[in-house]
């Protein structure tokens, strides 16, 4: 899988993958809580927010984003895999890529939030070494400290 920043050519497929994942998980989907999806290129175009896509055989198969929370903390968001490409390790590879990008940008901690009923996401983050730090309002918050000496391999 090749991972790169989302582009004008890939943004619609990326948006479709993200929306399909959200619709699959939530019976009621309110777009007002996801304003970044209205214009992904604009929302993730700076140093503080980046959206990546994974391509396999020329097709966008997954997404993942980094959002700066402070000088040392970055959040992982929008990790989603096209339903046709699931269970092949693409989410883990995207997480590893996001961790490497965070390390290159000198972040020391990654944080992620997911719904407490999203069992596959919970399993993914735990498998990748994230530790639960809080449960609140049907959400689970995870974090992972980055070592300054090692490149993150596939989790």
| Distance (Å, whole) CA 100 – CA 39 | 26
**In 10 A of CB 60, how many CB atoms?**
20
41 and 6 in contact (C-beta within 8 Å)? yes
142 and 130 in contact (C-beta within 8 Å)? yes
CATH of 2-145, one of 3.10.300.10, 3.80.10.10, 3.40.1350.10, 3.40.630.30: 3.40.630.30
Q: Per-residue pLDDT for 5 more than 60?
A: yes
- pLDDT by residue (tens digit) across 50-103? 999 999 999 999 999 999 999 999 999 999 999 999 999 999 999 999 999 999
- Going along the chain, which residue ranges are E strands? 2-5, 49-56, 59-68, 73-81, 109-115, 131-136, 139-145
Provide the pLDDT for residue 149.
Answer: 43
- pLDDT by residue (tens digit) across 23-65? 887 777 677 778 898 899 999 988 899 999 999 999 999 999 9
| Distance (Å, whole) CA 46 – CA 51 | 10
Give kind and range of the element (H or E) at residue 124.
helix 119-127
Please report, for the chain, the start and end positions of each structural domain, with discontinuous segments joined by +.
2-145
Query: What does residue 107 show for φ and ψ, rounded to 5 degrees?
Result: -75, 150
- pLDDT by residue (tens digit) across 113-138? 998 988 999 999 999 999 999 999 98
pTM across the whole model: 0.91
């Amino acid at each position: 899988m090749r991972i790169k920043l989302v582009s004008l050519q890939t943004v619609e497929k990326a948006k479709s993958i993200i929306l399909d994942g959200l619709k699959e998980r939530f019976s009621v989907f309110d777009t007002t809580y996801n304003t970044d999806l209205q214009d992904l290129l604009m929302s993730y175009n700076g140093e503080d927010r980046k959206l990546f896509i994974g391509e396999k055989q020329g097709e966008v198969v997954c997404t993942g984003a980094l959002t700066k929370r402070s000088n040392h903390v970055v959040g992982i968001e929008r990790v989603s895999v096209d339903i046709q490409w699931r269970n092949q390790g693409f989410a883990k590879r995207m997480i590893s890529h996001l961790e490497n990008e965070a390390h290159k940008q000198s972040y020391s901690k990654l944080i992620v939030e997911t719904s407490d009923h999203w069992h596959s996401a919970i399993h993914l983050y735990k498998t990748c070494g994230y530790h639960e730090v809080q449960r609140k309002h049907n959400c689970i918050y995870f974090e992972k400290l980055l070592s300054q000496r090692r490149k993150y391999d596939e989790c």
